[in-house]
């Protein structure tokens, strides 16, 4: 069934106009964004397939252009439109963290980090720079690839910290496999950054591992081990 064949009061555009966009179901919202189908598939079918492929929208934000184009009825132009919507949503999430206190908004910041790199298919190392009130000034993805001490060079991090006038920083990386266990290299990198931070007077506040389903504070875990050993 085409949108024009639906009763007026349940067509996505008319329903949104009458009752607000928040009245739309996930399926209707996607239909509104997609606007129309093509000879291959109706917009109803395309929206349904997007929901299936994204596991009920839970992984929608991490679908690639190629992922979208695997859905019958979605070609490059429509895939890019969907990618633009997702990128805008991600940028809104980044903007909302600016000047947030990491101590007072830890849950919201972890949620942002999970969406930022938690679903990435390769490891990403991200640094969050903080002011004296431990509010977020900026963040940078330093590199993508397997975590290694030689790649996470303190010089690059502290050059950026000085550039952003940071008083402290938080290191973050993801585990694409979903494990929330700090590896030996994770500990080595954490200790290296902690020592360098003390020397530079720009301390490491924490080193987090994030996945799509959770997070781990390496420093908290490391400090617990030290207390148990002593």
User: Looking at the structure, do residues 25 and 119 belong to the same domain, yes or no?
Assistant: no
User: Looking at the structure, do residues 175 and 222 belong to the same domain, yes or no?
Assistant: yes
Chain segment 53-98, per-residue pLDDT in tens: 988 987 787 788 999 999 999 999 999 999 999 888 878 877 777 7
How many angstroms separate the Cα of 114 from the Cα of each of 11, 122, 191? 34, 14, 23
| Band of pLDDT at residue 193, cut at 50, 70 and 90 | very high
Strand order across the 136-144 sheet: 136-144, 124-130, 168-174, 204-210, 215-217
As for how many domains the chain has, the answer is 2
User: Looking at the structure, do residues 120 and 26 belong to the same domain, yes or no?
Assistant: no
Domain span at residue 124? 98-229
More confident residue, 58 or 110: 110
User: Looking at the structure, do residues 144 and 87 belong to the same domain, yes or no?
Assistant: no
How are the residues of the chain apportioned to helix, strand and coil, as percentages rounded to the nearest 5? 50, 15, 35
Residue 185 belongs to domain with CATH number: 3.40.140.10
User: Looking at the structure, do residues 53 and 143 belong to the same domain, yes or no?
Assistant: no
Q: Burial letters for 142-157: b for 16+ Cβ neighbours within 10 Å, e otherwise?
A: bbbeebeeeebebeeb
Distance between CA atoms of residues 153 and 78, nearest Å: 40
Last residue of a domain, one of 61, 94, 127: 94
Distance between CA atoms of residues 149 and 86, nearest Å: 33
Chain segment 204-217, per-residue pLDDT in tens: 999 999 998 889 99
Determine the average pLDDT of the residues in 88-117.
Answer: 80
Last residue of a domain, one of 94, 127, 160: 94
Q: Quote the pLDDT of residue 225.
A: 45
What pTM did the predictor assign?
Answer: 0.69
The helix or strand, by DSSP H or E, that contains position 130, with its residue range, turns out to be strand 124-130
User: Looking at the structure, do residues 204 and 218 belong to the same domain, yes or no?
Assistant: yes
Last residue of a domain, one of 42, 69, 94: 94
User: Looking at the structure, do residues 105 and 191 belong to the same domain, yes or no?
Assistant: yes
């Amino acid at each position: 069934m085409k949108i024009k064949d639906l009763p007026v009061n349940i067509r996505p555009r008319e329903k949104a106009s009458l009752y607000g966009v928040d009245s739309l179901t996930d399926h209707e919202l996607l239909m509104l964004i997609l606007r129309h189908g093509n000879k291959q598939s109706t917009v109803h079918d395309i929206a349904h397939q997007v929901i299936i492929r994204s596991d009920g929208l839970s992984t929608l934000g991490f679908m690639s252009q190629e992922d979208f184009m695997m859905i019958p009825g979605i070609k490059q132009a429509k895939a890019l439109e969907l990618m633009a919507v997702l990128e805008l949503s991600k940028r809104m999430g980044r903007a909302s963290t600016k000047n947030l206190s990491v101590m007072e908004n830890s849950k919201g910041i972890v949620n942002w980090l999970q969406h930022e790199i938690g679903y990435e298919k390769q490891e990403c190392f991200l640094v969050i720079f903080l002011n004296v009130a431990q509010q977020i000034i900026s963040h940078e993805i330093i590199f993508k690839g397997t975590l290694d001490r030689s790649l996470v060079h303190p010089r690059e991090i502290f050059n950026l910290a000085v550039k952003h006038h940071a008083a402290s920083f938080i290191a973050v990386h993801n585990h694409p496999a979903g494990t929330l266990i700090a590896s030996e290299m994770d500990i080595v990198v954490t200790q290296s950054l902690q020592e360098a931070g003390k020397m530079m007077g720009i301390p490491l506040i924490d080193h987090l591992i994030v996945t799509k389903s959770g997070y781990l504070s390496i420093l908290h875990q490391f400090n617990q081990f030290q207390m148990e050993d002593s």
